[in-house]
Amino acid sequence: MARGPGARAAQSTLRGSRATASERVPPSLTSASGTAASSNSSLSGSSIFFDMEEYQPPVWKSYLYQLQQEAPRPNRITCAQKTASRPKHYGREFHGIISRERADELLEGAEGAYLIRESQRQPGTYTLALRFAQQTLNYRLFYDGKHFVGEKRFDSIHDLVTDALITLHIEAKAMQYISQMSRGDPQNQRPGHPTLHNKHPNSCTENHRQVHGPCALKERRWRYEKAHSFKTHTFRGPHWCEYCANFMWGVIAQGLRCSDCGLSVHTPCSSMIPFDCQPDLCRAKRLFGCDLTTLVKAHNTQRPLVVDMCISEIERRGLMAEGLYRVPGSTEHIEELKLAFDRDREKAVLSEEVYPDINVIAGALKLYLRELPIPLITYSLCCSFIQAARIVSPEPQLEAIHEALLLLPAAHYETLRYLMAHLKRVASLEKHNLMSSESLAVTFGPMLMRPPDQNSPLSLDDMRYQKLVVQLLILHEDILF
């Protein structure tokens, strides 16, 4: 689809920084304005949907797209004389110090006409005068390598004016439509979201199918919640919002895009999206150092592969090993195994032939936990667990730990539960491996819970309780989870 002639606008550009109090910015410009969404073509192409029976084609709404096409085009009013004070970054649209009235005369009658003038009262400050709806609008203009009047930054004045005219036009014609766009009846307002979004082209289910065949789809999917990681995005070519199905207008920064799954929505629509991000597998290539929820969502597994595979190997041949988890394995071999996991994923080989020393497997599991960007017991809950452990009376103490566990993200909870059940089995063989729940807690405490601020590490007292938390989790795994 060709980019329309008016495909550039300045919505949030126009948000702050007006020139002077008397200069007008329509109030609508301060409202949340459009944001772009993913490419229309990527959503309508049938090849990306693997389940055609369920797929209902979304109805993309063309109203805002048409409005953008109808927006006035920039019409540069150039200055005939050479203006000595012209800054290098302005062209012949710069008219030097002229009065507001003179600018008004020059722009009169031509929608989209614009010029730049220098302030009479404050030389060195510049104003963009723009004709829209038979009025001259004035904006204080800034330059720091890019041109801007609000948040959006443009390479050229032409782009800025194009974006501004689109936004002004769309907001003048469709203010109410926009304000209702992401609200209202969800049935009507979410034509794409439920079907489309769950079958996002890059989602792991699609990848899974390619790898494992259709039967893999029947496998239970782990329904962990994951919030999207939305960031402002400039879309190339026309884009439609995957939440409300409306066009995302403007030239740059038309909307938000999730950096994990690519979901693209208007800024106001982003607050309506449930926590159902399905990360793209290729964005979670590495197993180590990847956010736990992102990883299990991307791989469609209940727990991280590394945790499951290391624990099953240790349970197969290592539970009796003296000093299990305390004795370090060879750093070199642990690094090698980490690379193998990142490269081969579930095909990584942990066998006795390759790694005769079980401490290498144990070391890889510990390294995995240590490298989690958010620890298994999350930063935000670290203090709650420590406070719970401080309670002297055993029953309320366990009750408080249980309460804190319930606040963990589901994937963290499940992984912690699995790990604690394993450590309980390790501790039950203390006679052989000499690892008590207490010594396991000493080893695992620092990798399972870290204080949010690295500059203020846990006090000695807190560390005592950190150990106690993990010990209690091991001892009472059966009742706590």
Collapsing DSSP to helix, strand or coil, 49 comes out as coil
DSSP state of 149: S
Q: Does 157 bind Zn ion (CB under 5 A)?
A: no
297: contact with Zn ion by CB under 5 A: no
Nearest residue (CB) to Zn ion, 34 versus 445: 34
Distance CA 114, CA 294 (A): 48
Stretch that binds Zn ion, among 144-152, 262-270, 289-297, 330-338 (CB under 5 A): 262-270
Nearer to Zn ion by Cβ, of 136 and 293: the residue is: 293
**Is 281 one of the binding residues for Zn ion (CB under 5 A)?**
no
**Size of the residue set binding Zn ion (CB under 5 A):** 11
Amino acid at residue number 278: Q
By the rule CB under 5 A, 266 interacts with Zn ion = yes
Integer Cα distance of 69 and 8 in angstroms: 10
Check binding of 284 to Zn ion (CB under 5 A). no
Nearest Cα to 225, choosing from 414, 9, 36?
414
Burial label for 231, CB within 10 Å (0-12, 13-18, 19+), is exposed
Q: DSSP letters along 346-402, please?
A: GG----TTT---HHHHHHHHHHHHHH-SS-SB-HHHHHHHHHHHH--SHHHHHHHHH
CB of 148 or CB of 243, closer to Zn ion? 243
256 binds Zn ion (CB under 5 A): no
Taking CB under 5 A as the rule, does residue 372 contact Zn ion? Answer: no
Q: By CB under 5 A, which span of 40-48, 95-103, 274-282, 355-363 interacts with Zn ion?
A: 274-282
Instruction: Name the one range near Zn ion by CB under 5 A: 222-230, 339-347, 427-435, 440-448.
Output: 222-230
Neighbours of 24 (CB within 10 A): 14
d(CA 51, CA 32): 36
Query: Which among 444, 372, 455 is positioned nearest to 412, based on CA atoms?
Result: 372
Binding-site string for Zn ion from residue 425 to residue 464, where x marks contact by CB under 5 A and - marks none: ----------------------------------------
Choosing from 269, 295, 298, 472, the residue that interacts with Zn ion (CB under 5 A) is 269
Stretch of 204-212, 265-273, 316-324, 328-336 contacting Zn ion, by CB under 5 A: 265-273
Within 226-255, the residues that bind Zn ion by CB under 5 A are 228, 241, 243-244
φ, ψ for residue 225, nearest 5 deg:
-85, 140
Closest contact distance (angstroms) between CB of 237 and Zn ion is: 17
State the nearest-atom distance from the C-beta of 279 to Zn ion, in Å.
7
Rounded Cα gap, residues 59 and 270, in angstroms = 19
Q: Of 239 and 450, which CB lies nearer to Zn ion in the complex structure?
A: 239
Smallest distance from Zn ion to CB 244, Å: 3
Instruction: Report the nearest approach of Zn ion to the CB of residue 263 (Å).
Output: 5
Angle (deg, nearest 10), helices 410-428 and 292-299 = 100
Binding site for Zn ion (CB under 5 A): 228, 241, 243-244, 258, 260-261, 263, 266, 269, 277
